[in-house]
Structure 1
Amino acid sequence: MTQHTEVAVIGGGQAGLAAGYHLRRQGLDFVVLDADPAPGGSWQHMWESLHLFSPAEHSSLPGRLMPAQAGETYPDAGHVVDYLADYEKRYDLPIQHGTHVNAVRRDGESLLVEADTGTWRARAVISATGTWSRPFLPAVPGRSAFAGRQLHTVNYRSPADFTGQRVVVVGSGNSGAQIAADLALDGRAEVTWATQRPPRFLADDIDGRALFDVATARRRALEAGRSDTGGVASLGDIVAVPPVRAARDAGLLPIKPMFSQLTADGVRWADDSHTAVDAVIWCTGFRPALAHLAPLNLRGPRGHIPTDGTRALDEPRLHLLGYGDWTGPASATLIGVGRPARDAADEITHLLRS
């Protein structure tokens, strides 16, 4: 049976919840279809030691401040999950968990959203599926020959899983730094951090509050026609959260330039030396999870769908939310997704009511 709604939101993480908040304020009929069986988005799948970059009050969705976590300046992932679950309940958002969307198709004046639980006919769609479900692994020579354990950021949980092992962590971003620090401070594994380029640490006093201010300043400059300030990327790649600072300052983060290949039992470095390794953790990023939009044939350069703000240029009934700066500055963050979510809801309201 096909059900009808004005707006279908695909994804019930932070971006989907922010979209739901603003759609509710606009008085639109909508449904949120979320593949996860429980609230919390990707935060419920994070590793055990993960903490936010910002204090709770600077990590909030629209309409509801995140409460502080007792004993923590920077809340942990579990606290974020609790906050998102409470947010969903507080605003009585119509979320259907455990619903995986397979495809979105055009059908006259509607978009058909085909899910494993049935089909929805919508006049507009907001795709807010994020990137967590699409981890990226680089094509490194010998990767298929390595007999040890390989996993991505999405699979990492705890240092206890690597007791007595030799581990190489790959990636010069925040995930690589935090996981390498997590393992190093725990001390049960022998850790090497391999990066394509030297890690660029932001100043120790910079956290998510400052990063959001920088991203906002960049957006305002671009909107005013001024030159691009470079945003957060101009400052560095890694927020020096307390565990990363502690491991770095204690000399526990040995950094080596990226290895040239994997062998059956380890890694071979650029100088042809070899290190025996039990596990490789790929902290090499993600790609937007957009397979459900393939029937619309909207992909542009680098797999991105060209947008004006959040609106797809070639399909004005579709908005993309929370995938990174190309769908709104800082839109992949808790505090940053509110503005583009509001803009998307405003544009959809105008489209449906005009």
Structure 2
Amino acid sequence: MNDVREVEVVVVGAGQAGLAGAYHLRRTGFEPERDFVVLDHSPGPGGAWQFRWPSLTYGKVHGMHALPGMELTGADPARPSAEVVSGYFAAYERAFDLRVRRPVDVEAVREGGGGRLRVETSDGVWSTRALINATGTWDRPFWPRVPGLETFRGRQLHTAGYKGPGEFAGLRVVVVGGGASATQHLLEIAPHAAATTWVTRRPPVFREGPFDEEAGRAAVALVEERVRRGLPPMSVVSVTGLPLNDAIREGLRSGVLDRLPMFERVTPDGVEWGDGRRIEADVILWATGFRAAIGHLRPLRLRGAGGGIRLEGTRAAADPRVHLVGYGPSASTIGANRAGRAAVRDIGRLLSAPEPAAA
């Protein structure tokens, strides 16, 4: 396509991280459409929240921090979080006139010449001096490789496809995963299912008491160290432990949250451990997390020998024009806000330098 549109900054993604970045661009004096553009492949506002299952009400959400500059007030805790957050994000986009373009799929980001990046999308090509990548993880559900997976005669699904507990009525369900989603699924499904089994690779760690600011900083530092070394990031949640609330306590008391170690293979009728133990199942629900959705950055060759993208702050060490927010240590709602601000500050310094002449 010959019609290449030029801007100073392209923001890819309009979840918490992307909107935070766009907000700080606005505050710094960048005008939407003229100086920067926000591209989002989702059908509507809300980022990954719009795809959450209906039974995940707003009152069950752990640690949802408001976007910068506008609080989320008066939310009904009994409403689905997808509705609450999508409505909030939509109001935020209008309040700050962010003019998000959707649905737009970003297919590739590559070298564009003259110090610029070429962003190839389903809506044409953009030429930009800097990129804020805020694509999150929802589009890359992680399915472990387990022997026999393809032989299972029942149903397999991932958290990304979970719609609620009603569809498991009378079924035997194995839930795999050690995070908050796994425990939420189990506690919802157990009253409807014929039987539930919880399986994790490592014993779950339950956290007593409040998760204060010092604990939060320590958890983020562990993740940050990995991306600084160029290793694939862990989620922040993976190092914080599971909050021991009333629902979790009841699950432990009732036996719903009795955990088994990871099985060795999947059989046509269920799962099997190395010692010969078997459990028959109608459904395997993989609550095994997500990986960063960064395939469109592959032409820039940002990955290092460790398999991840090494970051200096939010900036890719291999290309200072590219910032990743909502990645690694900023993969939380409060972390995304801070990362958006830091990325824009860094980009401001980059853009203050003269633009190289095109070759």
TM-score normalised by structure 1 residue count: 0.87
Q: Deviations over 1:228-282 (max 9, x none)?
A: xxx9779752223443333223332232111111001111123202221111011
Residue 308 (str. 1) matches residue 312 (str. 2): yes
1:46 aligns with 2:59: no
Q: Give the Cα–Cα distance (whole angstroms) in 1 for the partners of residues 161 and 105 of structure 2.
A: 21
Q: Tell me, what secondary structure is at the counterpart of 2:243?
A: coil
Partner of 1:214: 215
- Structure 2: which 5+ residue stretches go unaligned? 225-234, 354-359
In structure 2, C-alpha distance between the alignment counterparts of 1:137 and 1:69, rounded to whole Å? 34
Q: Which residue of 2 aligns with 1:352?
A: 351
Distance, in Å, in 2 between the alignment partners of 1:62 and 1:76 is: 19
Q: Is the 8 A contact 1:172 1:237 kept in 2?
A: no
User: 2 CA distance for matches of 1:280 and 1:220?
Assistant: 34
Deviation at residue 77 of structure 1 after TM alignment? 3.6
Distance in 2 between residues matched to 1:276 and 1:6, nearest whole Å: 57
1:157 aligns with 2:159: no
Which of 89, 94, 97 is equivalent to 1:89?
Answer: 94
Deviation, 1:27, is 1.2
Q: Does 1:64 align with 2:70?
A: yes
- Partner Cα distance (2:239, 2:48) in 1: 26
Structure 1 Cα separation of the partners of residues 198 and 223 of structure 2: 36
How has the CA–CA distance of structure 1 residues 221 and 323 changed in structure 2, closer, same or farther, with 3 Å as cutoff?
Answer: closer
Tell me the distance in 1 between the aligned counterparts of 2:51 and 2:340.
24
Superposed displacement of residue 175, structure 1: 1.5
Length, aligned pairs only: 333
Partner Cα separation in structure 1 for residue 7 and residue 97 of structure 2: 17
Partner of 1:22: 24
Distance 2:18 2:243 in 1: 26
CA distance in 1, matches of 2:153, 2:85: 36
SS at match of 1:339: helix
Q: Aligned match of 1:280 in 281, 284, 287?
A: 284
Of 242-251 and 278-287, more deviation after overlay is shown by: 242-251
Q: Contact conserved, 1:103 with 1:294, CA < 8 A, in 2?
A: yes
Whole-angstrom distance in 2 between the partners of 1:315 and 1:12:
22
State the one-letter code of the partner of 2:173.
V
Residues 96-115 of structure 1: CA deviation (Å, up to 9, x unaligned): 01000000011122101000
8 Å CA contact 1:52, 1:77 repeated in 2 = no
Q: Report the Cα offset of residue 353 of structure 1.
A: 1.6
Q: Secondary structure at the match of 1:161?
A: helix
Q: Are 1:183 and 1:189, in contact at CA under 8 Å, matched by a contact in 2? A: no
The 2-side partners of 1:233 and 1:285 are apart by 10
- Shift of the 200–218 alpha-carbon distance from structure 1 to 2, 3 Å rule, reads closer
* Cα pair 2:5 2:127 within 8 Å, conserved: yes
Q: CA RMSD in A?
A: 2.4
Distance 1:128 1:278, change over 3 A: same
Query: What SS does structure 1 have at the residue aligned with 2:242?
Result: coil
Query: Percent of pairs identical after alignment?
Result: 45
**Alignment partners' CA distance in 2, 1:221 and 1:182:** 31
Contact 1:299–1:305 (Cα < 8 Å) also in 2: yes
Alignment-derived partner of residue 269 in structure 2: 265
Partner of 1:198, secondary structure, is coil
Q: 2:14 is matched with which residue?
A: 12
Q: Equivalent of 1:297, from 301, 306, 320?
A: 301
Unaligned runs of 5+ in 1: 224-230, 326-330
- TM-score, normalised to structure 2, is 0.86
Does the 8 Å contact 1:159/1:189 carry over to 2?
Answer: no
The match for 1:121 is 127
Contact 2:54 2:80 in 1 (8 A): no
- SS of 1:337's equivalent in the other structure is helix
Q: Secondary structure at the match of 2:271?
A: strand
- Taking the aligned partners of 1:236 and 1:336, their CA distance within structure 2 comes to 14
